[in-house]
Structure formats: structure tokens, C-alpha cells
Amino acid sequence: MDRYLAFDIGGTFLKYGVVYEDMTLFETNKLKTPNSLEGLLRAMKEISVLYKGVNGVAVSCPGAVSGEGIIKGSSALHYLHGPNVKRLIEDRLNVPIFMENDAHCAGYAEFWKGAAKGRKDVLVMVLGTGIGGAVFKNAELHKGANLHGGEFGYMLLNSEVQDSNDVWSRVASTKALVRVVAERKNIDVDSLTGEQIFTMAEAGDEVCLQALDRFYHLLAVGIYNLQYIYDPEVILLGGGISAREDLIKKIDEKLDGILAVVDLAKVKPNIEACKFKQNANLFGAVYGWLKEFDCSKVAPI
């Protein structure tokens, strides 16, 4: 059976795995995302050497990915923006590369064989270092006039705009959660992880509990806005945090509170976790590769 090497370039981790054409995952691993483009290319090359004989390489990454391979917009990895990253990866790995925005990849996976299969109007949110998104209308990906369709993370939640720190990604991402807790505990932000915050909260840490409560509220506010902008059938949540079994329940509770106050709102957002959770980006990148290079193996979504 054909197999494909997939990379998910994130602001915190570079994830990778081998995906079979039937969408089974042979193995997956991750390492801290290198702090330079050369470091990233070197790491991807070293990983690809370990998996010789794959049929193709698919890449999920942040930012607005153009057809030619230039990543527009902005992200936590500033070095991705400007050069033709796709071409650089192809030259280094010496194989044809499919590259697409991470949230778009997550959406592809969910429409292919996941929680969006059989649906038409869907929003996908990827929660991580920032907040990414994808818009699907009639089961077709909508990229927008400037390739920014679905960039929910740029949404403003504060009407008194001071700077870029007021955008949704900077206040309601997992990176924002870590920053808030680090500041309140007066510790180095690099010494703390989201996983540690959840563990400390479960042990009763008041700072972590309060930060998580605010985190869930801010996510719910943005999701409420998205529901009334687009009115999708479902809003799917992906990213590493989507693996937490209580995520949907906590956000759902905050949505109930918002709807109780805003009595004009009668439609409650239907939120679900991506079926493939933290691996959705890897699977979706492979779907994109098959769609571009071997469409006989995938049916249109």
C-alpha cells in the first residue's frame, strides 16, 4: 500500500508522520520547531532520510499559502514569509511537494473521512500557537480574494484596539494561555507548557484555573461571532488541545452563558472536535497531495 510522509509545521512543534493511502497512521513524532528556515529545512531532510521509499511528501504550515509556494500573511514563524518555501523544500528533499495552510489541511481531512463528511457548510478552527481556520461552502474550500479566507485569528474582540495583541490569536490561543499563566506566576514563559497548565489546574492551582476559565470564555466569544457571520452546520475544533475530552464541554458551557445574556441570539453554535484531532493536519496534507498528484485515489469531497 502506498505511503506518504507528512509534515505539520507549527509555531511550537514540527510534527511528522507516515500516512497510508487508507488514512492509517504508521507512526508519528514531533520535535521543537527550529528557529530558522535553514534549521527547518535541515530537520525535514534528516527526517525524510529515515523514511525512504514514500510515494510523496505533504506539508501543512501556517500562513496564506499561494499556489506557487510563497507563504503570505503572517504567523508565529516569521522566517516562512517571503521566500518560496515550497520550492526550497522540494530542492532539499528532491521530491514533489504538496503544501497548504494547516487549517485548510485539517478541513480536508475532516471532509475526506472525518467529522465533516456528508456536510456542506462547515468552519474548521485549529487551536495552537495561534488560531487558524478554514471556510467550506457546499463542501468547497473558500480561500478568499487575498488567500485569507478562514484567518479567524485576526478577528478583534476588543473595540479599543491598541495593537496586534488585541487580535483573537493573541488572547485565546494556547500560546496566550501559557503567557498569561507565566506572567501571573512570574516565571519564564519558555519553562511552561499548555499541558503543564492543565495538569496544575486539575491539581487545584488557582492561577491556572482562572486562566483556563478566561481562555474558554474568549474562545466561546469568537465562536459565537463566527456562528452569526457564517451560520455553519458545525464548527470543528482541531489542534493539539482538541484531544482533551473536556474541551467541547467547557466551551459549550461558556456559550450557554453568552446566549443567556444576549437574548436576541437563538442559534447556539454546534461545536465538535475534529475526528482526527491533533493528526488532522497530517491526514489533510496527504489528501491534498493525492488530490494534486494522484486524484484517482480520492473522491471529491
The domain spans of the chain are 3-106+279-297, 118-274
Share of the chain above pLDDT 70, in %: 99
Cα dihedral 211, 217, 219, 220 in deg (nearest 10): 160
Give the pLDDT band of residue 89 (cuts 50, 70, 90): very high
pLDDT digit string, tens, across residues 183-213: 999 999 989 999 999 999 999 999 999 999 9
Locate 109 and state its grid cell. Answer: 481531512
More confident residue, 53 or 217: 217
116-123 long-range contacts, Cβ below 8 Å, gap at least 24? 116/234, 116/236, 117/301, 119/233, 119/234, 120/233, 121/230, 121/231, 121/232, 121/233, 122/232, 122/233, 122/234, 122/235, 122/236, 123/150, 123/152, 123/226, 123/230, 123/232, 123/234, 123/235, 123/236
> pTM of the entire structure?
0.86
pLDDT-based confidence at 233, cuts 50/70/90? very high
Of 237, 218, 219, 234, the closest CA to residue 268 belongs to: 234
* pLDDT tens sequence across 108-166: 999 998 999 999 999 999 898 889 899 999 999 999 998 899 999 999 987 788 878 88
**What's the pLDDT at 300?**
66
Q: If we measure between CA atoms, which residue out of 72, 65, 122, 130 comes closest to residue 288?
A: 65
Query: What whole-number distance in Å separates Cα of residue 217 and Cα of residue 172?
Result: 9
Q: Do 118-274 and 3-106+279-297 have the same topology in CATH?
A: yes
Higher per-residue pLDDT: 199 or 26: 199
Check residue 301 and give its pLDDT.
67
**CATH number, span 118-274:** 3.30.420.40
CATH code given to domain 3-106+279-297: 3.30.420.40
- Higher per-residue confidence, 159 vs 97: 97
pLDDT exceeds 80 at position 262 = yes
Using 50, 70 and 90 to split pLDDT, how confident is the model at 299?
low
Name residue, grid cell 478541513: 107
Whether 17 shows a pLDDT value over 70: the answer reads: yes
Query: Model confidence over 61-79: pLDDT tens digits?
Result: 999 999 899 999 888 899 9
